[in-house]
Amino acid sequence: MPKTSDSIDVVMITKNSEKPLLNMCLKSIYANIPVNRLIVVDGYSTDETVPILKSYSNVEIVQMKGGRALARQRGIDEVETEWFAFVDSDVVLCKDWFDKIKSVIASNTGAVCGVAVPIAPSDLKRCTAVSKFYQKSLEDTMLIEGNRRGMLHDTIIHTDSVKDIIFPARLHVWEDQYVKQHITRKGLYWKATSRAYCHHYANLSARNMRELVEFGKIARAYGYYSWQRVLLFTLLGLPKALWICALTRDFKIAKWQLDAYITIVAGWLAGGTENRFTES
């Protein structure tokens, strides 16, 4: 367990990540984490991402081609501290993030992730409406998803628990769940906590539907979504979309929610177990 004075490596993956808030993200990291090194795996950004990164101390930038899984892999390979944190470039950490998330660590803890509170306007409206659909707070709704899936937007990980991980190159989505699965298979705990949180500007409502088809395929290939969960998506798709439309008066957001469910289910049905990928 890291002591308050211990410094840790922080891993971030970037590609043209200047906007919406890279500079704010970096300020929050250095204000709230005792950074040993900020290890950035960059996909050859052409905007101001690299110059912004170089304006901070203890930054090591590795540039490489490849998807999110290979970038996560390279970042893990570079880590030298006993614990490290994954922090995405589109989040702003809460005050005292490191101390708050560290307080959740117990014996046999492999990783702890904080709650991601959406701040992109369309996502905030959609997720707030969904939380009311389930009669829960926004934070509790996001906590449930973070605990179920495993998220890497603001997550502290015991390095030994993932040093032997080998990602399939295809995982440009779901690589976070792959990490959780790897850790829990070792009998270690993956925890999600609302004590630590980040403001997350992911703007998922702008996500390409073709990506969601792949999302569904991989979810089936790895067993991330059971047929019962896919059936639930099918049954709740239209009622949830109507609920979102009624609360937000935003037809575009409601339609995206419905289309996303339909697309993920279609991908899951098209995936088949013959496409399963395993660690090599």
Question: What is the SS3 string spanning 232-252?
Answer: HHHHHHHHHHHHHHHHHCCHH
Total structural domains in the chain?
Answer: 2
Give CA–CA dist 135/210, Å, rounded: 31
Query: What mean pLDDT do residues 225-245 have?
Result: 92
pLDDT value of position 116: 92
Query: Is residue 98 in a domain?
Result: yes
Q: What is the mean pLDDT of the chain?
A: 90
Query: Domain check: are 28 and 148 in the same one?
Result: yes
Query: What's the CATH code of the domain at 165?
Result: 3.90.550.10
The residue with greater pLDDT, 174 or 75, is 75
Claim to verify: residue 74 and residue 167 sit in the same structural domain = yes
Record the pTM. Answer: 0.90
Residues 188 and 223 in one domain: no
Q: Are 37 and 107 in a shared domain?
A: yes
d(CA 163, CA 11): 14
> Of 178, 205, 232, which residue constitutes the final position of a domain?
205
Q: Round to whole Å and give the CA distance between 110 and 120.
A: 30
Residue 267 has a pLDDT of 92
Span 31-47, average pLDDT: 97
Q: Are residues 225 and 160 in the same domain?
A: no
* Rounded CA separation 147/128 (Å): 18
- For residues 182 and 106, membership in a common domain is answered with yes
Domain that residue 221 falls in: 209-272
pLDDT tens, position by position, 66-81: 889 999 999 999 999 9
Mean pLDDT in residue range 138-150: 86
At 108-131, the pLDDT tens digits run 999 999 999 999 988 999 999 999
Pairing state between β 91-93 and 189-200: antiparallel
The answer to the question of residue 130 being in a domain is no
**Listed residue (235, 256, 225, 219) closest to 129, CA to CA:** 256
Same domain (yes/no): 154, 63? yes
Residue pair 213/267 in contact by the 8 Å Cβ criterion: yes
- Does 275 have pLDDT greater than 50? no
Label the pairing between strands 109-118 and 154-158.
antiparallel
**Rounded average pLDDT over 210-235:** 88
Q: Clarify whether residues 105 and 220 are in a common domain.
A: no
Is residue 53 located within the same domain as residue 38?
A: yes
